[in-house]
Every structure is written in C-alpha cells, then in structure tokens.
Structure 1
Amino acid sequence: MSDFRALAGRMDINGPRYTSYPTADRFHGGFGAQDYQQALADCAASATHAANTAKAAAPLSLYVHVPFCENICYYCGCNKIITKDHRRSARYVDYLAREMALVAQQLGTRREVVQSHWGGGTPTFLDPAEMRRVMDALHQHFHLLPEGEHSIEIDPRRIGDAQMALLAELGFNRISLGVQDFDAEVQRAIHRVQSQAETQAVVDAARRLGFRSVSMDLIYGLPHQTTARFAATVEQVLAMRPDRLSVYSYAHLPHVFKPQRRIDERALPAAAEKLDILVGTIEQLTAAGYVYIGMDHFALPDDALAVAQREGRLQRNFQGYSTHAGHDQLGFGVSSIGAVAGRYVQNARTLDDYYRSLDAGVLPVMRGFAMRDEDHLRRDVIGALMCNGVLDVAAVEARHRIDFAVHFAHELAELARLAEDGLVRCEPGRIEVTPLGRLLVRRLAMVFDGFLREDARRTEPAAIRSADAGTPLPMPTRYSRVV
C-alpha cells in the first residue's frame, strides 16, 4: 500500500471503467433498430445451429431498468425519474412487456437465462402487482434458470419484510443494497438519510429467506467524509458481513449531472484525504477476510466472484465483475444497454422516446456499436488483464491470428514503462499484473484501448509520438478517475 500511495498521485488520471469495450461513449446514432434486429437474428441463428448439432444453445443474460425513484440522491448519475406518482410505473410496466415481446419474437424460441438483474432508479419502486407483471412477462418469453443468478437493487428505506418475501417468491436470489455512508452529516449532504438499522433489517430478512448473496455499495469522496468517519461506516458494514462489497469513487461532475450542483464542493475531501480513505478501506476489508477482486469490488473467499477469480473464470459486463459475463445480454427499459452477437445496443433515454418507438412496433434503440475484429481482440486483452491478471500471449495470437509483438508494439513499449513502476511483469509469452498493478488495473487496460490511442493521435500528435516511445497517453476528461 505504501507503493500504491507513492504512485497514486501520478497515476490518478481520467479513464474508463471498461464494463464494456468499446466503452459506451463510443456508441453512435448510426446504429438503429434494424441493426439490433439483425443482431437478434444472428443470436437466434446461433441457437438454431447449436440445436442442429445436438448442442445446447448458450443461455442469455438480462438487464431490466426501472428508472423511478421517490427521493433524489444528489450524488447520483444514473438515468432516473424522481416521482411519487405510481401511475407512471404502471404504464411503464406495460411497455416493458411490449419490448420483451418484440425481442422474443426476433429470437424465435424461449431462451434460457442464466443471469438477470433489475437496476435503476429503484426497482422496488414498483408495487407488488407491477413486479409480478414484469416477472410474468419475463417468464412468458424466457426460461429463467432457477440455478442462475437473479439479482435486484434495493433501497433499504423503501422495503419491508413483506416485500422481501415477495422478491424471494418471484425468484430473486441475490440483492444489492445502496449504503454509500452511514455518517449522519454525510447523509444529509447527499440527501440520502438511511439508518444502519434499516439496512440491517433488510440483510436479516434476506438471510432468513434464503437469498444466496447480499451485496452492498459504498461511495468514497462524498462531502464531509474523512478517513476516520468512513472507517466507522466500514466497521458497521463489516458487522453485517455482506457477501460482496463495491466501493466506488465519487466523480463530481455537476456540469453533467444537475443534482450534483446541490453538493457543496468545499465540503468534498481533498485528493490526499480521498486517497487515504481508499487505502484505509482496502486495508480494513482485506484484514476482515475479504478478497480484493479488482478495482472497486471485494468478496468473501467462498463467494462465486472470489472462486471465479481463483479459477481464472472472472469476467466483466455492465454490472461490473461477473461469473456469467460471456453470454449475450438483453437490455429492457429506458437507457438499458445490451450486448448481442458482437453488437452493443442502448435504448432511448427518455420515456417519451421509449414509448413512441414501442407504439410504432419498433425496438426503442437510441444508439449502438457493431464490433470489428480489432475490437474483439482488444476486448479480450483488456478483459484478461482486468479480470484474471494474466494474459497468455500465445493463446491470444492463436485465437486472433496475429503476431502480438508486432500488432501491439506501441502498447508493449508503454507497458514496459509501467513495468518499471512495478504494475506489471512482461515475460516471454506472458503478461502478468502485479498485486500493486491490480490496484491500478484500469491504467493498464487503457494502454490497450485503441480508441484512446486514436483520440490522442488526432488531438496530440506530439504526445502520441512520445507515447509510442513508451510514455503515457494523454487521456480525455470524460471518464472517472482511475484512483
């Protein structure tokens, strides 16, 4: 951790989180509903081919976005709608069912689903009848495998024992709780007052009802946070022993997210304090027995994420680290993102646009991206480094039919410089992320991001020539901080 502290200031630059590659900011409006239809047709053809060769079709992953919240949290950058009018969610559920029917029609058969996730917003904004309707529509068009992972995001302030029992009845087996911070002053500053007792009640209910996993989200870098205060929150969290923890860095972007304008910038912790919070949190969690999965994710040693990491099966998708990220993912609802047959697709961001498309019987696509061979190659390299910490060069060469040293000559030159900092070891036929490098793994992934390199080539010709010689690329400011 002392080496991490020494490097963090120099490495603390803006960069993507790589829940996809290419990243979502590379999606474009030239990709539309017809392109998504073709992707779904290709997904269906793949399943048909599997059936014709006596093989099982690959299962799918699903994401359902519920945008409604009763309360605005000032830090939040999610696509959300603040309302107490539950008539709006009743209409939304109708359109979700329409979208599912359109997608299922393109797929042709009732496909198996090994992973599903409801996010938001606040999915539990839906009343019990609405939740049943959404789940009924999913079951009508898809086969949600009971042995799969089926998770939902929960606001502990808006759910009780009866709702928790309903979630278990509907087939959810994992829950994710937003906590952020238990300090009262911090909570008031971000307009999210939530007691430890409310959170504990949901955790107790989940365990009583047999949920497989409880995950909690924390955020560091919020107003009035200090190292000592956040450590107290972490201690309260550890007492509840969640199976997984995500500890996110707050990105203050009030020019992008209007609610953040209500946050007093003067109360935000200084960069040095924020780094101390992060270092202290990593030390606390690892001392308590949690495994550092990567970036902002931690898990207990027997959790599926930790097991997948040990076995080299860890992957990433739009929900972060996952054990089921290699499957096509369908996104339902406003702003949801899917990944199908080598294409990324994102739905309309507003309810009006979403409803208008579905009223016309058209998939509500806003933008997307069709991957090229080069994108698949770089995604594999970035995924291997970020998830399992080891890149088998020979395997990449065989799979993509390239000479790695020639194809990535500029990248290897820059990687050599990061090796001098102790982030990575480059050996013949193998690139391995060091324990220190795992703390800054996004910086390593950025080396292989062809879009960032092209950005630099267009805007900073001199800098890219320097980068080609082994110095870091200049990075755009639209991403979150690496540290």
Structure 2
Amino acid sequence: MPVPENNNLTAKYNVALPRYTSYPTMPYWDIARFNKNDWKKTVKRSFKESNPKEGISLYIHLPFCENLCTYCGCNIRITKNHRVEEPYINALLLEWAMYKNIFGHKPLIREIHLGGGTPTFFSAANLKMLISAILLYADIHPEAAFSFEAHPANTTVNHLQVLYDLGFRRLSLGIQDFDPKVQAIINRQQSFAQVQAVTSQARRIGYTSVNYDLIYGLPLQTLHGLATTIQQVAELTPDRIAFYSYAHVPWIKPGQRHFTENDLPNAEAKKKLHETGRALLHSYRYLEIGMDHFALAGDQLFTAMKNGQLYRNFMGYTDQHTQLLIGLGVSAISDSAYAFAQNVKNVEEYLQLVKQGELPVFKGHLLTPDDLIIRKHIQNIMCKGNTTWNHHQEPCPSLFEGLERLQPLVDDGLIELNSWGLKVTPLGQGYLRNICMALDARLWADKPATQLFSMAI
C-alpha cells in the first residue's frame, strides 16, 4: 500500500525539478563541446561493444496529429493532410540508412517504439512500409519488444493486425481522463467504448501488454472525476498504467495557453489528486514501479523491477536494456551511452537535412567521466530505489558533494544513508526526483535563474 503523503513534506519538496530521463538533463548539456563527428564515433563504439549480444533500441518519432491536445508537451505537427506520411517515412529510412552506414554491420534490433505525435495518424499500410524497410537489413533479437503509442479514437483493427504481424506485442493508449469536461478543455476526446473496443481487439489479436496513460492535475479535473476514470480503467484491466503529473509549461508549449492557471487545481488539490489516484491504483492491485508507473504482478515491467533489471531512458521505464538507443525522426533523442544527441525540431528542416545526406542532429552532449558516475547512481535510484558507491573506485568529487546535500532527506525519512550507499524508504518513493536532484552536480553548479522544469507534484 502507498504511504500516506505528509502535507509538510509535500509543501517542502514540491519544487521545479527534472524528470531524470537522462543525466545530465537537457538544459545542462554542454552543446559547445559537441559535434557530429564525435557523436558518430560514440555510436560506432557503442554499436561494436553491445550489438552482438544485447542489440540496439530504436525510437521513431511520428509527429503528426489531426488535432491539438492542449495539455500536450510533445513535439508535434497539426495537420489533416495525410500526404505528409510518405515523404516523412522516406526521410526516416534515409536517416536509418545513415546510421546503418555508421554501424558497418547488420544491427540486432532488441526494441522498437513508435511515439509521437500520433503514430496511428499514419495508415496501416504506411506503417507496414516503414517497419518492413527498417527490418529488411536487420536481425531481430529473440527477446525483442516492439511497442507503439495509439489514439483510441483512430486506431483501427487493421493498425493492430498489421503491427502485430510485424512483431509488435505492446500497445499504449492515451486516456488522460474520461471526464467529458476535462476532455473538452484539453481537446482530447475519446470515449470509454472506444478504449474498450481497441483494448479488446488488441487482446483478441494477441497483444500481451496494454498500457494506459493517465494524467493528474489537468484543468477542471476533480477528485470525483479522477476516481471515476480509474474505476473505469480498472474494469478493462490494462497490464500497465502510467500516472503522470500534468506539466504546465506554457512558456514552452503555447497550446497550454488555451486555458489559464485558474482552470488548474491548486497545489493542495493536485496533491489530493495524486494521493487519491495512487491509493485507488493500489486498491485495484496495481503495483508501483519506480516513478509514475504501475503494473499488475504478471506484467514484465513488474518482473523486471523485482529482478533488478528495470531500466529508464528517454522512452521512460522499460524491462529491456540496450546500451545504444537510436532516435529517428524530428526531435528524436539518441543515447550512445557515451553521448546524447537530439535531432532538429522542425519537420521541414529535418526533411531537408536528410535529403542532403546529412545526419539531422542539431545538439548533444559528450558525457564526462563524472557524468557517467553520477548518471549510474541516478539510474539506480530511479529504477532500483538504492545505489552503492566506492570512494576509491569512483574518484568523483561532485558525487560526494551531492552526498552532503542528502542529509535533509535523511532527516525527513526519505532515504537511509551510510558510508557506502543509500536506500529509498517507502516514504521516499514519492520523492525520487528530489533525491536524484541532490546528486545533480551540473544543476547545483549552475542553478537556473528561471523555471526550466515542471513542478514535482
């Protein structure tokens, strides 16, 4: 069962802070030291080290949506013109060809994830063309996991069948909230019947894992509405549930200006939404996985956590770990284990660069020895709830400066700390981002003058 939230602790730790899908976090990437040639070298090195046994992961960003969901923080392009599909797919395949050239050998694909945008904006035929071409010059790992995000209102049986035939077994549906008032203000309409139909169709075809995304803190959201949504969700028994905090960043995402702060629950109300949601999910036998994720006991994500194999990357939590993650498409982020790189964010610029035969990366970060050490500990905290260190084998002064910042969290009962490691307590499970922030050497060396991140709750 979840530990009840403490009002004083909630107020103290409800600050703006990163989500730690990477370390360093993107605002602290040293882009001045980064260049494409160095990036290619790290990709080649990582591929050589890891591809033969564990394979690589692919994230493919499909940015198009027919309508703007005003809560959305993703990089998207709104259009009803489906003629954009084929030119974009052709560009993705050109970018993939550039990476295959860097690899020098046939890749072993362990993981594919289609994100967006709305991947099911694309026709089933075009998705088949894309994935078939990706897999044409590649081997598939025997434990491969292919997944895609889908809008319940436009996902057809044909989408589900075509992707299943290509090896996809995991499906993620964006629900957010079933309350009609909330759906209207965030411009995200899908009915319970539509979600039920897609879920049933997917299971009938043979999908083995269905995830629902829910968000708390949305405009006009109420405790009653959220409780009703979770009750309806529980009736459909998805294998996994992501229960995210709404990130209000209108200075980054102007679409969020379609409503005002007056429409949002205040800090106290949002805390209640979070507390109520967690308690309800536990009451329906969903077990908490890391941060913001829940799964039934039979799901592979829970098994990975139980076995100490849970991993976190730019795609969130996964039970699959690969050293090399390649992001294809506009704004996609890649991770070579030695560096990060992000593609350009504008569709037209992306298409032009790829057409010219140029890798569409526009910024990145080469990880320093200190970065690698701190990254490991943050990853352990986010995935395992504990980490250990060795003063002699990890000569990283910035890490041990971070350990000094952990004492208030010890005093508040969020962690247990000793000379060789730390362990997150049940109370501290709800404050993982705060614990990681204490170790974030780059943030503490250059505290932001303006708000860069969303609030913790």
TM-score of the pair, normalised by structure 1: 0.90
Question: 2:3 aligned with 1:7, yes or no?
Answer: no
Distance 1:184 1:36, change over 3 A: same
Q: Measure, in 2, the Cα distance between the counterparts of 1:386 and 1:179.
A: 25
Higher mean alpha-carbon deviation, 106-115 vs 59-68, is at: 106-115
Question: 2:154 aligned with 1:151, yes or no?
Answer: no
Q: Measure, in 1, the Cα distance between the counterparts of 2:64 and 2:353.
A: 20
SS in structure 2 at match of 1:480 = coil
Q: Measure, in 1, the Cα distance between the counterparts of 2:48 and 2:387.
A: 31
8 A Cα contact 1:44 1:106, kept in partner: no
Identify the match of residue 284 of structure 2 among 288, 294, 302. Answer: 288
Match of 1:249, as an amino acid? S
Identify the match of residue 36 of structure 2 among 33, 37, 42. Answer: 33
Q: Measure, in 2, the Cα distance between the counterparts of 1:437 and 1:449.
A: 17
Deviation at 1:360, TM superposition (A): 1.6
* Residue 106 of structure 1: aligned partner: 102
Higher mean alpha-carbon deviation, 205-214 vs 322-331, is at: 322-331
SS in structure 2 at match of 1:93 = helix
* Residue 406 of structure 2: aligned partner: 415
Measured against aligned partners, the alpha-carbon deviations of 1:14-33 in whole angstroms (never above 9, x if no partner) come to 11111111112233554343
SS in structure 2 at match of 1:15 = coil
Q: Measure, in 2, the Cα distance between the counterparts of 1:28 and 1:94.
A: 32
Match of 2:36, as an amino acid? A
* Residue 67 of structure 1: aligned partner: 63
Question: 2:197 aligned with 1:211, yes or no?
Answer: no
Deviation at 1:476, TM superposition (A): 5.5
Q: Measure, in 2, the Cα distance between the counterparts of 1:91 and 1:378.
A: 41
* Residue 176 of structure 1: aligned partner: 172
* Residue 450 of structure 1: aligned partner: 441
* 1:106-125 correspondence runs (5 A): 106-125=102-121
Match of 2:96, as an amino acid? M
Deviation at 1:4, TM superposition (A): 3.3
Match of 2:24, as an amino acid? P
Match of 2:442, as an amino acid? F
Q: Measure, in 1, the Cα distance between the counterparts of 2:137 and 2:121.
A: 23
Deviation at 1:146, TM superposition (A): 5.2
Deviation at 1:244, TM superposition (A): 0.8
Q: Measure, in 1, the Cα distance between the counterparts of 2:399 and 2:163.
A: 48
8 A Cα contact 1:393 1:431, kept in partner: no
Measured against aligned partners, the alpha-carbon deviations of 1:419-462 in whole angstroms (never above 9, x if no partner) come to 11000001342311001111101100001101111113xx7xxx
8 A Cα contact 2:110 2:322, kept in partner: no
Distance 1:15 1:354, change over 3 A: same
Measured against aligned partners, the alpha-carbon deviations of 1:111-142 in whole angstroms (never above 9, x if no partner) come to 11111100000111111221111112211232
8 A Cα contact 1:334 1:348, kept in partner: yes
Q: Measure, in 2, the Cα distance between the counterparts of 1:148 and 1:89.
A: 26
Q: Measure, in 2, the Cα distance between the counterparts of 1:216 and 1:128.
A: 21
Identify the match of residue 402 of structure 1 among 354, 370, 394. Answer: 394
Identify the match of residue 431 of structure 1 among 410, 419, 422. Answer: 422
8 A Cα contact 1:213 1:243, kept in partner: yes
Question: 2:135 aligned with 1:133, yes or no?
Answer: no
Q: Measure, in 2, the Cα distance between the counterparts of 1:24 and 1:140.
A: 33
Deviation at 1:267, TM superposition (A): 1.8
Once the two structures are aligned, what percentage of the paired residues are identical?
36
Q: Which runs of 5+ in 2 are unaligned?
A: none
Identify the match of residue 21 of structure 1 among 20, 23, 43. Answer: 23
SS in structure 2 at match of 1:286 = helix
SS in structure 2 at match of 1:167 = helix
Q: When you count helix as a share of all residues, which structure comes out higher? A: 1
Deviation at 1:403, TM superposition (A): 5.8
Q: Which runs of 5+ in 1 are unaligned?
A: 51-55, 460-474
8 A Cα contact 1:253 1:260, kept in partner: yes
TM-score of the pair, normalised by structure 2: 0.95
Deviation at 1:39, TM superposition (A): 2.0
8 A Cα contact 1:62 1:115, kept in partner: yes
Distance 1:177 1:37, change over 3 A: same
Q: Measure, in 1, the Cα distance between the counterparts of 2:49 and 2:382.
A: 28
Measured against aligned partners, the alpha-carbon deviations of 1:193-221 in whole angstroms (never above 9, x if no partner) come to 11000001111011111111000101111
Measured against aligned partners, the alpha-carbon deviations of 1:375-415 in whole angstroms (never above 9, x if no partner) come to 00000111111110111234xx56xx2367x6644322221
Deviation at 1:313, TM superposition (A): 1.6
Q: Measure, in 1, the Cα distance between the counterparts of 2:371 and 2:212.
A: 33
Q: Measure, in 2, the Cα distance between the counterparts of 1:45 and 1:274.
A: 47
Aligned residues: CA RMSD: 1.8
8 A Cα contact 1:11 1:482, kept in partner: yes
Identify the match of residue 479 of structure 1 among 441, 453, 456. Answer: 453
SS in structure 2 at match of 1:353 = helix
Q: Measure, in 2, the Cα distance between the counterparts of 1:86 and 1:3.
A: 47
SS in structure 2 at match of 1:481 = coil
Deviation at 1:229, TM superposition (A): 1.2
Question: 2:249 aligned with 1:253, yes or no?
Answer: yes
8 A Cα contact 1:33 1:362, kept in partner: no
Deviation at 1:231, TM superposition (A): 0.7
Q: Measure, in 1, the Cα distance between the counterparts of 2:299 and 2:172.
A: 14
SS in structure 2 at match of 1:71 = coil
Question: 2:283 aligned with 1:309, yes or no?
Answer: no
